[in-house]
Amino acid sequence: MSRRAKRFAGWGRALAIAAPLIAVVGLVAGAPAVLAALGRSSGQGPASGYDRLVDAIAQRQWLSVRYDDEGEPRIALRDGPVGRDPRLRAFVNASYLRADLQDPAVWRLSDDGQWVEGIDPFAHHIDRPYSGGGAWAGPILFRGGAAPGLRLQPLGNPAPAPIRLEPQGAPAAACDILMPTRRAAAAEPRRALSICLKDGDQPPHAVGSVMLVGDQAVVRVQTPSMLEIRVGDRDARPRVDGDVTLTPLPPGETLTLRTGQSVLRLRLDGGAADIAHSTPSGARAYFPALQPLAQPIERAMTGRSSAPLRLSLDARLQQVAQDALAAGVATVRSSALPGAKPDPGDAFKAAVTVMDTTTGQVLAVGSWPLAETDLAPAQRRTRRGQNLMDQNHNFERLPVGSMVKGPFSLAILDADPGLASLKIQGGGTGRIRTVLGMDLGKGGFDNHGLGMTDFPTFLEHSNNRYALALMMLAYRDPTAPSAPPRAPPGPVEAWSLDGKSRTDAPPLPVFGEATAPGPFGWVLRPPPGRGPAWPDRLARLFDLDAGQGGGCRYDLAVWRGLTGAAPPCASPLAGASPERERLGFDAVASFRNDYLMAVLGGSRSTWSAIKMAEVYSRIVTGRAVRARFTPASAGPPEAQLPMRNPHVRAPVLDGLSRVVKTGTAAWLGREFATMGYPPDVTLYGKTGTMKVAGEAPSEPGPVLLRQLARGDCGLRWDTAAGVLKFGYVAPKSKAEATRQILGLKETRCKVRVAGRRDLAEQAAAEMQRYACGYRNCRPGDFEPEPDGRVMDLPLRAAEPPLLDGHAIAVVAVRQANGQSVRGLTIVVNLQDKRQAETPALAVAAAILRSQAAHAWIAGGGQ
């Protein structure tokens, strides 16, 4: 081929690449204007246009599909000139495509799973798919005052004072010198953090700095000196003397300075000065943990004025709550399960709600995890890991354990005040199975042993046996004539009611016993749709659904007053509203599982942290406090709770006050006594320990066998012989299958075992399970291709371990003349506590110890 022909061929290839790219980039650049000219609304119009753009990119096969070790697809721009084009990259970074590439579930893949056909048309219920899409662009503000902003927190125990950063300007007044014998100790606010190094007798010389540029912190390093400077696991130093590097320091990431034996680690905390605002580029910047809250508001405000929108959240308390939660999570992660090493990369759900006790205004909703750095590398690639980061967990219903004993007890006593006189033997410590003569089955229940226990003592020590007895007796009809005493089937149990000692087993439930007792000794047979009286009191006192559900799934009333009329169920604000509790007491099939266990925080008894904060605010104030994210206007206090027997609040409050004095949260009470609150501030609390599912263990054998199938590595089903083969050879034993798997490195198969005999043996055992012993059967859990190839194998479900989560609801309230004047309600829920004894208590203590909490309770907060 001539040189001229080669040149034309090269131009042809370049045009073949550039032409479609220019067309799509033109669509990208002009999409907002084009959609506006077409008269599309600012809602679904941009979303539809975005889908068309992404489909065009997908149809040109500019997106690649790769599969990770667990068989999960990963979507990315294809390598090559197109994938590296800065215009396409800019569109990815400025649009929702950046997030969509991390979410394989929104893509339509080809039948063979090897290329992307387009994006799921139902994947986006959005109004702002890219910059300039006509979305609401107003700022969302805290209730008053600015957030503390970004700062560097030196890591240590006790934690040193933070180093506050200010916008880039004049250099710092002093250097932070790092020497082998001394650590930096700077706590004053400054315009930049200067990093200096002192070599011998020479004067200190600057090697770098940390400063604010817009809403981001940047590490500037100007020399590759002996000082090691790392952002996360990345070396931030320049490679050549005289060069300068600028490395972004994301919130939550750690900056490490090291020379010789001297090490200084600093974590970037804080964030934007408001909840959300638009940057000059059109992108939105969010305060950490509040993006899931802000984005539904932005969608609900589409088409409205872009005037600033102020919420009830308090900037200082939000930052304090987030910092305290991060410290509590670190405590949990550093404590391992018995016989296991700590796993600092493990992640779980954690939430903390801070509420104004008297008005219900939500002041803070701290959530964890926040960033990819909070996840293990393997978790960052999974949908579950992304969901952990993309949600604010205060809005989800989560197990709360014994925290439900507070509202359940108040409702039970309001329906049947005589039960306040109940006394029973608290039982032993550990797993026990009988309550008032009822055998609850082989599994029994956890219990903390006590002697003769009355109502306040039951709350003080959270005795499970008393709680179950209370639930049983709450099913009785106090107006019905007494049934004749009945001897219990097991050992005699002493108890008393209304001051009368008894040893009989009460007739339970009042609606009749089964002629043949069920597996747990009793069968509940209420009339259809009828249950005990007290769940009705529970629903009325706390405005919750004690049945199976009805109406909105989310409590949108927290946004009353934001957009005028009450938001409908289908409002975008549902994405930033707490899930409604649905306890199902109108559909009890098992007395033990569906009814009794609810008081221990199991079964259907899951609650959002926001609702739990509202509930305890009502118990303490005696008023119908309603949670809200909009500022409350001045006016009369909330109405009194609609109680039939208001006097029964007294024993409940007595028990909750004992919890933080001598009960399960006594440590918190001792800490509170040292915090300097005046004597008119009273503390109440209730702890909860709940069972939560941990991460399912990864089984490498099944994963490898599935990789072999997906990699077309010779797995075939021989219909005639009824065997699973590698190529044309069926293994006769596990040892032979192991040898075949190890020998795959010599075939066209791309999966390499690399001599891992232990892994090959696990895969061979899994293969034997699928092939039913290798011969003479057809397994039903995979479908071979017509030519016999086996291209997919289901992963065997692995039961995740059950871990002990830890939660607490605490109310610190200033009272005058018996009335609650000002207070904070704090609910902490850590869905994993492992061996850490008091992580949730420590989070609550850190919030109460803060200046922001003192100012709020004293009346200095806004």
Please compute the mean of the pLDDT values over residues 660-673 and round it to a whole number. Answer: 96
Q: Which of 143-157, 340-354, 397-411 has the lowest mean pLDDT?
A: 143-157
* Alpha-carbon gap, residue 289 to 317, rounded angstroms: 13
Residues with Cβ within 8 Å of 249's Cβ and at least 6 positions away in sequence, in order, are 210, 216, 217, 218, 219, 231, 255, 268
Write the CA distances from 121 to 49, 124, 693, integer angstroms.
11, 7, 33
| pLDDT tier, 342 (very low <50, low <70, confident <90, very high otherwise) | low
Average the pLDDT over 638-648 and give the result. Answer: 94
Most confident option among 199-208, 287-296, 710-719, 760-769: 287-296
Q: What is the mean pLDDT of residues 434-447?
A: 79
Instruction: Please determine, for residue 514, whether its predicted confidence score (pLDDT) is greater than 50.
Output: no
Please give the model's pTM, rounded to 2 decimal places. 0.71
At 461 the pLDDT is 94
Asked whether the predicted pLDDT for residue 126 surpasses 70, the reply is: no
Q: Which helix (H) or strand (E) holds 99?
A: helix 97-100
CB 473 within 8 A of CB 596: no
CATH 2.30.29 given to domain 151-269: no
How far apart, in whole angstroms, are the C-alpha atoms of residue 706 and residue 306? 52
Higher pLDDT, 431 or 826: 826
Average pLDDT over residues 179-200: 54
Read off the pLDDT of residues 225-244 as tens digits, 9 standing for 90 and up. Answer: 778 889 988 888 888 777 77
**513 class by beta-carbon count within 10 Å (0-12 exposed, 13-18 middle, 19+ buried):** middle
On whether the CB atoms of residues 823 and 358 are closer than 8 A, the answer is: yes
Give the three-class secondary structure for 716. Answer: strand
DSSP code of residue 105: G
CB distance 371 to 389 below 8 Å: yes
Please determine, for residue 420, whether its predicted confidence score (pLDDT) is greater than 50: yes
Kindly give the residue spans of alpha helices, DSSP state H, lying in 213-355.
291-300, 315-333
* More reliable by pLDDT, 154 or 661: 661
Instruction: State which H helix or E strand residue 140 sits in.
Output: strand 140-141
> pLDDT per residue over 743-767, tens digit each?
775 456 767 676 678 888 888 888 7
How many residues are listed for the chain in this entry? 862
Q: Work out whether strand 176-178 and strand 193-197 pair parallel, antiparallel, or are unpaired.
A: parallel
Q: For residue 843, what pLDDT is reported?
A: 96
* pLDDT of 24 higher than 90: no
Rounded CA-CA distance 271/148 in Å is 8
Lowest mean pLDDT among 35-39, 253-257, 260-264, 609-613: 35-39
Q: How far apart are CA 185 and CA 178, in angstroms?
A: 10
Mean pLDDT check: name the lowest of 85-94, 121-130, 272-281, 794-803: 121-130
| Per-residue model confidence (pLDDT) at position 557 | 92
- Give whole-number Cα distances, 508 to 472, 488, 493, 533, 688, in Å: 7, 12, 16, 15, 28
Whether the predicted pLDDT of 370 surpasses 60? yes
Interatomic CA distance for residues 80 and 62, integer angstroms: 9
Region of 521 on the Ramachandran plot (φ > 0 left; ψ -120 to 50 alpha; else beta): left
Residue 822 and residue 358 in contact, taking contact as beta carbons nearer than 8 Å: yes
What Rg, from alpha-carbon coordinates, does the chain have?
31
pLDDT for the residue numbered 9? 46
The more confidently predicted of residues 411 and 488 is 411
Query: 719 or 180: whose pLDDT is higher?
Result: 719
pLDDT at residue 258, rounded to an integer: 84
- CB of 813 closer than 8 Å to CB of 621: yes
Q: Where are the domains of the chain?
A: 19-119, 151-269, 700-770
Do 348 and 229 meet the contact criterion of CB atoms below 8 Å apart? no
- Tell me the average pLDDT across 64-76: 80
Q: What's the pLDDT band for 577 if we cut at 50, 70, 90?
A: very high
Instruction: Please check the confidence at residue 668 and state whether its pLDDT lies above 80.
Output: yes
| pLDDT the model gives residue 684 | 98
Query: How far apart are alpha carbons 573 and 583 in whole angstroms?
Result: 24
CB-based contacts of 287: which residues, under 8 Å, 6+ apart?
Answer: 147, 271, 272, 274, 275, 276, 318
Q: Rounded distance, CA 815 to CA 565, Å? A: 35
Q: Is the pLDDT of residue 862 over 80?
A: no
463 φψ region: left (φ > 0), alpha (ψ -120 to 50), beta (else): beta
Q: What is the pLDDT of residue 844?
A: 97
Torsion of CA 759, 762, 767, 769, to 10 degrees: -170
Are the C-beta atoms of residues 528 and 554 closer than 8 Å to each other? Answer: no
Q: Does residue 401 contact residue 690 with C-beta atoms inside 8 Å?
A: yes
Per-residue pLDDT, 132: 44
Percent of the chain with pLDDT over 70: 76
- Distance, in Å, from the CA atom of 208 to the CA atom of 229, rounded to the nearest integer, reads 9
CB contact set of 687 (below 8 Å; sequence gap of 6+): 401, 402, 403, 462, 659, 664, 665, 806, 807, 808, 840, 841
Closest CA to 726 of 777, 752, 739: 739
| Runs of H (alpha helix) within 486-533 | none
- Residue at token pair 């000002």: 822
pLDDT, tens only, 517-562? 433 333 444 444 455 778 889 999 999 988 767 778 899 999 998 8
Unique residue bearing structure tokens 């996840």:
375
| Averaged pLDDT for residues 394-411 | 95
pLDDT band at 168 (very low <50, low <70, confident <90, very high): low
What's the rounded Cα separation, in Å, for the pair 179 and 477? 76
Q: What is the pLDDT of residue 432?
A: 85
DSSP type of residue 595: I
Q: In degrees rounded to 5, what are phi and psi of residue 523?
A: -130, 130
What tens digit of pLDDT does each residue of 75-112 get? Answer: 888 877 777 777 777 777 767 777 778 777 778 787 67
Q: Which candidate, 191, 181, 185, 117, places its Cα nearest to that of 149?
A: 191
Render 193-251 in DSSP notation, one character per residue.
Answer: EEEEE--TTSPPEEEEEEEEETTEEEEEE----SSEEEETTEE-S-SSTT--EEEEE-T
Read off the pLDDT band of 120 (50, 70, 90): low
Q: Which two tokens stand for residue 163?
A: 């180093």
pLDDT, mean over the chain? 78
